[in-house]
Amino acid sequence: MLKVGIDIGGTKIAGGVVDADGRIIEKLRVDTPLDVREIADAVVDMANHLAAHHDVVAVGVAAAGFIDRDRATVIHAPNIAWHNEPLRAILEARIAVPVTIENDANAAGWAEFRFGAGRDVDDMIMLTMGTGVGGAVIASGQLYRGGHGIAGELGHTRFIRDGRACGCGQNGCLEQYASGRALQREANAVADAGGIGAGLAALRAETGELKGTAISRLILAGDEGAVEALRRVATALGEACGGFQAVLDPEMFVIGGGVAQLGDDLLEPVRIAYQTSLPGYGDRPIAEFAIAQLGNDAGLIGAADLAVGGD
């Protein structure tokens, strides 16, 4: 049974035909339109093109934002001007098969649980470290969506009281301290301080800014300042995971997103901060940490697998 999964990102829309084992049969990618009204058009065109070449039974669409319990309406989206947008109805009016809407981090987390790093556990938390921090919770083999459909927004848990302003309208959210953007901020702070930040400062003087890919290269090369910037971000994430463990008790944390490409350079300081932040530290079972395996395809794979219809 084939389904279409479509992942709406800030800069690109990726779609694919996915089989029951999570394999992508065909994949497409287009730039995300700047005009919000054209985004639905792009999704419809992609879904219909893929359905015309394959016998698909449903379409799943992943989007960043708060999705209602019925997986039909985008209640709020941080980067697209959607407010109580009836996206499922808009798409189903122009697509011949049922459509399901899902949060993008939930979709990616579900894909990792079903087909990736978490496929051997029943309780898992996925954290994506990109521009912000996305979250997904798998509890007893089920995607936990909460009473209103908006559970799992772990990046928007309060991490620092009266902390940095966040795009969600609050202050001190975890994603301000443990994301790719936070890594850039910490790298600039280390560069400004001098000393071990000399390598970062030299790179910034040469390029005009410190981008994530360049910081990552310095980390992998062992630059002391870049490693310190990563340690600060990884420590924030690990401390938060200690709190998530107290509430949800997962068997595994799966870390995805651009920063996750640093592998063990990221995971080692995360594990240290996590273990020392646990209630009952030293006596209780601890979770495993793993890097996500499906990369940028996780969102579309998960959206397809979560699509309802054709059963």
Whether 62 is covered by a domain: the verdict is: yes
Residue whose C-alpha is closest to residue 161's, from 148, 149, 171, 175 = 171
* CA 177 to each of CA 77, 216, 293: distance values in angstroms, whole numbers, following the listed order: 21, 17, 24
Give residue 281's pLDDT.
83
- The reported pLDDT for the residue numbered 310 is 66
CA gap 13, 11 in Å, rounded: 7
SS3 of residue 57 by DSSP: strand
pLDDT at position 311 is 58
Q: Please write down the HEC assignment for all residues of 130-144.
A: CCCEEEEEEECCEEC
**Which DSSP state fits 32?**
P
Report yes or no on 273 lying in a domain. yes
Query: Residue 115 domain-assigned?
Result: no
Q: Which domain holds residue 28?
A: 2-110+297-306
Distance CA(190)–CA(229), nearest Å, equals 7
Tell me if residue 169 falls in helix, strand or coil: coil
Instruction: Provide CB contacts within 8 A for 201, sequence distance 6+.
Output: 191, 192, 194
Please indicate, yes or no, whether residues 93 and 148 belong to a single structural domain of this protein. no
CA distance 184 to 179: 9
Do 273 and 232 belong to one domain?
Answer: yes
Q: Do residues 132 and 81 share a domain?
A: no
Q: Crossing angle for the helix pair 224-248 and 180-193, nearest 10 degrees? A: 140
Q: Tell me the one-letter amino acid at 201.
A: A
Q: Are residues 156 and 218 in the same domain?
A: yes
Domain count, the chain: 2
DSSP 272: H
Pair 266, 151 in one domain: yes
Residues 52 and 140 occupy one common structural domain? no
Q: What is the structure's pLDDT at 80?
A: 85
Q: Verify that 281 and 152 share a domain, yes or no.
A: yes
CATH number of the domain enclosing 15: 3.30.420.40
Is residue 15 domain-shared with residue 88, that is, in the same domain?
Answer: yes
Task: Say which amino acid occupies 234.
Answer: A
Q: Do 161 and 193 belong to one domain?
A: yes
Q: What pLDDT does residue 309 have?
A: 83
Asked if residue 116 is part of any domain, the answer here is no
Question: Is residue 311 in a domain?
Answer: no
Residues 78 and 163 in one domain: no
What ranges make up the beta strands (E) of the chain?
2-8, 12-18, 24-31, 56-63, 66-67, 74-76, 83-85, 99-103, 124-129, 133-139, 142-143, 252-256, 288-291
Q: Within this chain, do residues 150 and 284 fall inside the same structural domain, yes or no?
A: yes
**Are residue 43 and residue 147 in the same domain, yes or no?**
no
- Kindly state whether residue 252 falls inside one of the protein's structural domains: yes
Residue pLDDT, tens place only, 236-250:
999 999 999 999 999
Q: Which residue numbers in the chain have pLDDT < 70?
A: 310-311
DSSP assignments along 190-236, one per residue: HHHH-GGGHHHHHHHHHHSS--HHHHHHHHHTT-HHHHHHHHHHHHH
Name the residue with tokens 């379409």.
Answer: 59
Residue 215 located in a structural domain: yes
